[in-house]
Chains A and B, each alone.
Chain A
Amino acid sequence: MSLTPTSNDFELIKQIKTGSKLAFRALFDRYYKYLVVTSYNIQGDADKARDLAQDVFLELWQKKSQINITSSLKSYLRKAVYNKTINYIKAQRIDFKENEELPIQKEREASAQQMLEKEDLQEIINRAIESLPEKCRLVFTLCRLEQLSHKEIANQLGISTKTVENQMTKALKVLKSALQPYLSEGLLLLTLSFCFN
């Protein structure tokens, strides 16, 4: 039987089950970065994200004979790294009752200079999200990226839905302040020119 890993996920898993290190490497190349970024976007520590993504692959290799994936391999892997990430967060025992300082938002008018500075609204939002304090950003990314409901987030993190709502309001406040100077009436032109699609 000759080894021929093809680009099909299902085929790769078949090969891995037989112990093919090459197929395992191919799978790693295909999905590792995706898993690292998924974890990183939620909990914000790049090295930890790499650890957790490697844990997923380690377990996959160790339990390779028992793998039985019925749906998409990509979502299976994503779920695995997501679960590990949430467990890691819970192990951190983040105290949500403690009040976090919001970054100081200066209300300012965007100057003409800034308009010409090829600033992308998406980049502004990305930077604003990154500037959020840890707990606030965590709740926010679970809501917007993982698409969890307030109830689900509350359950996962062991906090109340009221706390979740407060954190979301805090986050939106920071984000809207970052965006507002670029959206004031005189600058509607910029919004229109941005909205290409």
Chain B
Amino acid sequence: MQEDHYISIIHKKLSGDIDPSEAIELETWLNASSENQLLAESVKKAWELSSGFSRDLEIDLDTDFAILEKRIEGENTEIVPLKSRRYWLTIAATFVLIVVTAFVINNFLTSKVEWLLVETSANETQTIILSDGSKVILNENSILKYPESFTDNSRNLNLGGEAYFEVEQNPEAPFVVETKSGSIEVLGTSFNVRDYDEDAEMQVLVNTGIVKMRAKGMKKVLILEKAEKGVFKKKQKDMTKISGASQNDFAWHSNRLVFVKTPIKSVIRDLEKYYKVQILCKNETLLECPFTNTFNNKELDFVLKTIKTVYGLNIEIVNDTTYIVSGGSCR
């Protein structure tokens, strides 16, 4: 087929492998019709976009690590020949006794806790599983200090920066996160803590469960429940509760933005925060327009294109981090 022949030549050109005679042949063919040009354009675009190909997978790290561990253990078990089994059993029993005794003595003597440290840099997030199964997702430029294993009646850690916690239920051992400005105590729940040095406020946002928030040097305690946000103004030493907080505050780790009849001005604020850009809206009537949509793992360009289509806007890109929105109207 003729088309195949030219696709092959275009491919050679794209991979830098074309020889002069083929190049001339291609030129002639391109000049022959706009259909040919469109074909070439399609192949070129397909080529460019294909390097961005990726498929998303749901991976449960816990499950897969458990499978891996079983395989590691499997490699370590030795098959003991029947003949010498009884001899080995005696040895094994003695060994077990010695090990148990040593372990008990060791535990008794060492009350020292091994503290571990995880630190993230810019644009980096990290997930940490604690010894009780609780999960911490650490945001960028943050630091978490936690013990290798928790004691029986308390679970304490230190946080600088921002993290999202999913805490395992344990009424016997309250889970306490300490930051520079305050502390958060829970029994079992999921919540976000934000206390960066350069922020004027410490913020705690609850996803599920109940959380007790305390500010350093203050007697007052805030009890926060689902979708409630606690804000501590560091300078003014003022701690208040805000209800109806946005799910989009969790977007930094869920990568999901949800808008339900959300006024455009709030949409812009959430986009600015998550994508770390500045968006200026020149059309003031647009700011109150309600917008409904959900975005999962999408690039900013995609989101803006969607909003643009709904309201008939113009979007101007000033640079990597600045966008100007103008025109359009509520429908």
Residues of B within 8 A of A121 (CB): 45, 49
* C-alpha gap A185/B34 in the complex (Å): 9
The interface residues of chain A, by DSSP majority, are classed as helix
Contact of B53 among A141, A178, A191 (CB under 8 A): A141
Contact of A196 among B114, B116, B317 (CB under 8 A): B317
A136 CB–B CB distance under 8 Å: no
A33 CB–B CB distance under 8 Å: yes
Residues of B within 8 A of A33 (CB): 57, 59, 61
* C-alpha gap A57/B75 in the complex (Å): 13
A15 to chain B, nearest CB (A): 10
Q: Assuming the A-B contacts A36-B59, A41-B55, A54-B64, are A183 and B49 also in contact, with contact meaning beta carbons closer than 8 angstroms in the complex?
A: no
* C-alpha gap A31/B301 in the complex (Å): 28
A193 CB–B CB distance under 8 Å: yes
Residues of A within 8 A of B67 (CB): 54
- Structural contact, A118 and B124, CB atoms closer than 8 A: no
Chain B interfacial residues counted at CB < 8 A: 58
- Structural contact, A185 and B38, CB atoms closer than 8 A: yes
Q: Assuming the A-B contacts A37-B55, A126-B53, are A176 and B308 also in contact, with contact meaning beta carbons closer than 8 angstroms in the complex?
A: no
- Structural contact, A28 and B47, CB atoms closer than 8 A: no
A165 CB–B CB distance under 8 Å: yes
Residues of A within 8 A of B57 (CB): 33, 36-37, 40, 46, 49
Residues of A within 8 A of B304 (CB): 196
A116 CB–B CB distance under 8 Å: yes
Interface residues of A in 1-18 (CB under 8 A from B): 2-7
Chain A residue nearest to B37 in the complex (CB): A185
Q: Which of A74-82, A92-100, A167-175 contacts B (4 or more CB under 8 A)?
A: A167-175
Contact of A126 among B54, B59, B116 (CB under 8 A): B54
Encode B63-91 as 1/0 by CB contact (under 8 A) with A.
Answer: 01101100110010000000000000000
Encode B126-149 as 1/0 by CB contact (under 8 A) with A.
Answer: 111100000000000000000010
Interface residues of A in 48-94 (CB under 8 A from B): 49-50, 54, 57-58, 61-62
What are 14 of the A-B contact pairs (CB < 8 Å)?
A22-B148, A32-B59, A32-B65, A36-B57, A41-B55, A46-B57, A54-B68, A58-B68, A58-B71, A172-B47, A175-B47, A176-B46, A183-B38, A194-B305
- In the A-B complex, the 8 residue pairs with the smallest Cβ-Cβ separation, listed nearest first, are A175-B46, A176-B42, A125-B49, A196-B301, A180-B42, A144-B50, A169-B8, A33-B59
Which residues in A have some Cβ–Cβ distance to B below 8 Å?
Answer: 2-7, 22, 25-26, 28-30, 32-33, 36-37, 40-41, 46, 49-50, 54, 57-58, 61-62, 116, 118, 120-122, 125-126, 128-130, 140-141, 143-145, 150, 165, 168-169, 172-173, 175-180, 183-185, 191, 193-194, 196-197
